A and B are shown apart, each in its own frame.
Chain A
Amino acid sequence: GDSVTQTEGLVTLTKGLPVMLNCTYQTTYSPFLFWYVQHLNEAPKLLLKSSTDNKRTEHQGFYATLHKSSSSFHLQKSSVQLSDSALYFCALKAGGYKVVFGSGTRLLVSP
């Protein structure tokens, strides 16, 4: 069935360093991927989305490229900030209105 895999449960980094959060997916549909960010006690908010193969999409310094050949949609940022500490979820539109989420990656940025 349709699924999303995020391999890192926790990523800890020092401010200013680059980060990549992994996301791979499986689907029988044409893929439409999302990255959501959830800060403490807040609702998950959309960070990025894409359905176009090999096209980089960017928002708030984060970027990701959907690669259908490797079924991946990794999230990257060149220089993390303290305010980037949050939960990050990769999600897949799985036919119709259904969206499935990965298990999430907690990013902790230290000074």
Chain B
Amino acid sequence: GALVYQYPRRTICKSGTSMRMECQAVGFQATSVAWYRQSPQKTFELIALSTVNSAIKYEQNFTQEKFPISHPNLSFSSMTVLNAYLEDRGLYLCGARPRTDTEVFFGKGTRLTVV
């Protein structure tokens, strides 16, 4: 089956520092990887969408300078939260798709706490 692994599952960082999270697709080719943030209110915010052989597209309110993403191959993606502050807290979910006619396969997320 199609699985997505995310690590670390939980991380705590000091305000102003950075942390990197990773996403691994197993059992399928992650042609596209979307990074979402799930807020304490549980809503999903799309941060950016990365499709192999295309530029990474960031949503409004999110920038490459703050959330740089790497998607070097069809099984791996990483995202860094630079200079994290309290408002960056939340569950960061990686969602990968092999094709445009399939659903998104999600990892369990990386929960970021900023202290």
Contact = CB atoms under 8 A, between A and B. Distances in A.
Interface of A: 32, 34, 36, 41-46, 49, 87, 89, 91, 93, 96-101, 103-104, 106
Contacts of B31: 97
A43 B109 contact: yes
A43 B4 contact: yes
B48 to A, nearest CB: 10
B34 interface: yes
9 contacts: A43-B4, A43-B108, A91-B104, A96-B51, A97-B31, A99-B97, A101-B43, A104-B42, A104-B44
Interface of B: 4, 31-32, 34, 36, 42-44, 46, 49, 51, 57, 93, 95, 97, 100-101, 103-104, 106-109
A43 B49 contact: no
